[in-house]
Amino acid sequence: MTEFKLDPSRQRVASRLADIEPFRVMDILAQAKALQAGGRDIVHLEVGEPDFPTPAPIVEAGIRALRDGLTHYTPSLGLPELREAIASYYAERHSVRVSARRVAVTPGASGALLLAMAALFDPGDEILLADPGYPCNRHFARLVEARGVAIPVGPGTGFQLTAEAVRRNWRERTRGVLIANPANPTGTVIAHAELQAIHAVVREKGGWLIVDEIYHELVYETSPPSAASLGDDVIVINSFSKYWQMTGWRLGWLVVPEGIMPGIDRLAQNIFLAAPTPAQYAALAAFGKETRAILEIRKAILRQRRDGLVPALERLGFSIPVRPQGAFYVYAGIEQFSDDAERFSADLLRQAGVAITPGVDFGSHVAGSHVRFAYTTDDARIGEAMERLTGFLLR
């Protein structure tokens, strides 16, 4: 075997690699695990993943499918009965009629985002995104040579885009807007009237409105309508990961106008063939009453954690200008302590054994003065983290 040294001057890689930043929370997780391997006790408040295992009825449905030998490919858009179940979910939970023909089952919301970006956007097309926001969104755009345009948002608009901001930032190459409702990292919900107004602007401009609802079932005080209710031209992304706690199974879905489904199907056939089969059979148990009862208890636990964490952080001097209404995140200002959130997070991990995510993971606007706390660990551990934080801040 010939010795080989990569010579970038000869064997170059794609330019896009330089624009695709690491999803830092994964690096932090790796550092935290390395510290743990060395014997340190680390409190994990960085992970965007519920600490609960997948509910038993879902796991049992998955095991039954495996025992029954259901390990072959499904159709590329998903098991017909799962597409129907998702359609029924919209009817029963959100009172919106969504035809199963408009539902594509995908490998996680990641697969749904990839399909949507690949189906809708040409090289050079621009998609408006909130900053702060989910970091992968702009990278999905970059993958297909389109461009995510980060629009700074702040507490005044609940860290969400507005119809006015969309109109003001719409340029010749703008082809779409992506809204996460509720948003990551802020946990904030967009007012339905504002979402309607954004939809009207996007329609007027002949663009696409994509709404990421992966945390939509994790809104604590209210039940915001699904964006699917706005019209059947809205692209809706959802996932079994967060509320249904199926992260590792990699299963999500996409709702699109029926007219573009043939294109979505062709893309899905070619890009990933189909979503994982055991996950799809397991998810057939996701909408049952027994599963929902389990999930609603867990949702109440998440809410209690938020209700404890937000005032605790405020007492420590963090600024939380908008109370998070959903997801499992608190986006907190560290203005009192530092203007370098990356350094702050690294020091906190190393010195106090508390892992959080620096703002830079979510954009560049006010990123240096913000961090994200994920309340994806239990009250005792969150309490421990608050004690350690107290010590750390007094250092």
- Residues 232-261, interacting with its own copies (CB under 8 A): 232-233, 245-250, 257, 259-260
Q: Mapping DSSP to helix (H, G, I), strand (E, B) and coil, where does residue 38 land?
A: coil
Is residue 148 involved in binding its own copies (CB under 8 A)? no
Looking at 31, 35, 36, 59, which residue binds its own copies (CB under 8 A)?
59
Closest distance to its own copies from the beta carbon of 321 (Å): 29
Q: Mapping DSSP to helix (H, G, I), strand (E, B) and coil, where does residue 48 land?
A: coil
Looking at 42, 46, 62, 224, which residue binds its own copies (CB under 8 A)?
62
Looking at 40, 41, 73, 350, which residue binds its own copies (CB under 8 A)?
73
Closest distance to its own copies from the beta carbon of 325 (Å): 24
Closest distance to its own copies from the beta carbon of 349 (Å): 18
Considering only residues 194 through 233, tell me which ones interact with its own copies, judged by CB under 8 A.
Answer: 206-208, 229-233
Among residues 260 and 367, whose Cβ is nearest to its own copies?
Answer: 260
CB 158 within 8 A of CB 207: no
Closest distance to its own copies from the beta carbon of 47 (Å): 8
Is residue 30 involved in binding its own copies (CB under 8 A)? yes
Looking at 74, 174, 238, 377, which residue binds its own copies (CB under 8 A)?
74
Among residues 282 and 349, whose Cβ is nearest to its own copies?
Answer: 282
Closest distance to its own copies from the beta carbon of 270 (Å): 4
The DSSP call for residue 213 is: -
Among residues 155 and 257, whose Cβ is nearest to its own copies?
Answer: 257
Phi, psi dihedrals of residue 319, rounded to the nearest 5°: -100, 130
Element (DSSP H or E) covering residue 141 = helix 136-143
Considering only residues 88 through 147, tell me which ones interact with its own copies, judged by CB under 8 A.
Answer: 96-97, 107-108, 110-111, 114, 118-123, 125, 135-136, 139-140, 143-145
CB 139 within 8 A of CB 114: no
Looking at 31, 35, 75, 147, which residue binds its own copies (CB under 8 A)?
75
Closest distance to its own copies from the beta carbon of 242 (Å): 12
Closest distance to its own copies from the beta carbon of 322 (Å): 27
Q: Assign residue 145 a region: left if phi > 0, alpha if psi is -120 to 50, beta otherwise?
A: left
Stretch that binds its own copies, among 65-73, 181-189, 337-345, 384-392 (CB under 8 A): 65-73
Is residue 378 involved in binding its own copies (CB under 8 A)? no
**Rounded to an integer, what distance in angstroms lies between the CA atom of residue 25 and that of residue 356?**
8
Is residue 171 involved in binding its own copies (CB under 8 A)? no
Number of residues that bind its own copies (CB under 8 A): 90
Sheet hosting strand 252-255, strand order edge to edge: 103-106, 252-255, 235-239, 208-212, 174-180, 126-131, 147-152
Among 294, 292, 284, CA closest to 58: 284
Among 385, 386, 378, CA closest to 314: 386
Among residues 80 and 311, whose Cβ is nearest to its own copies?
Answer: 80
Q: What is the DSSP string of 288-356?
A: SHHHHHHHHHHHHHHHHHHHHHHHHHHHHT-B-SS---BTTEEEEE-TTT-S-HHHHHHHIIIII-EE-
Is residue 34 involved in binding its own copies (CB under 8 A)? no
How many beta carbons lie within 10 A of that of residue 257, not counting itself?
A: 14
For tokens 């801040």, what's the residue? Answer: 393
Considering only residues 267 through 326, tell me which ones interact with its own copies, judged by CB under 8 A.
Answer: 267, 269-279
Do strands 252-255 and 235-239 pair parallel, antiparallel, or not at all (unpaired)? antiparallel
Among residues 200 and 322, whose Cβ is nearest to its own copies?
Answer: 200
Closest distance to its own copies from the beta carbon of 16 (Å): 7
Among 35, 88, 34, CA closest to 351: 35
Write each residue from 354 to 373 as x if it is in contact with its own copies (CB under 8 A), else as -, in one continuous string. --------------------
